[in-house]
Amino acid sequence: MIEVLSQICKLAYNLHRSSFESVLQLRGSKRPYFTRNPNELRTPQQIEDSAIYMETNLSSNSIVRISVNVILLFGYSEKDLIIEAH
């Protein structure tokens, strides 16, 4: 499931490179979901060729919620995201 968030972030980075840093404002109650410092995350994964890392130690519900928040940041609608499980 983390691949969903990873792909959304890669697409957002490629399409909105100049404003992609806005993902840094997305935070959980105890730690960030995105950061430049991978030591702030439990299981960091670097996004594309960016200097930003994302947390990958997340529940499926958290992944969906963060994915929605990412697309909303870049002007897309929640309805633009459809996740199908097979």
* Beta-carbon-side half-sphere exposure of residue 62 (alpha carbons within 13 Å): 13
User: How far is CA 72 from its chain centroid?
Assistant: 11
Average pLDDT, the chain: 96
Burial of 53 (0-12, 13-18, 19+ CB in 10 A): buried
- 36-77: pLDDT as tens digits: 999 999 999 999 899 999 999 999 999 999 999 999 999 999
Q: What percent of the chain has pLDDT over 90?
A: 92
Domain boundaries, the chain: 2-80
* Mean pLDDT calculated for residue range 19-45: 97
User: Is the pLDDT confidence value at 85 over 90?
Assistant: no
Residue listed under structure tokens 């979901």:
33
Q: What CATH number should be reported for the domain whose range is 2-80?
A: 1.20.1380.10
Question: pTM of this prediction?
Answer: 0.93
Collapsed DSSP state (helix, strand, coil) of residue 42: coil
| The pLDDT value given to residue 23 | 98
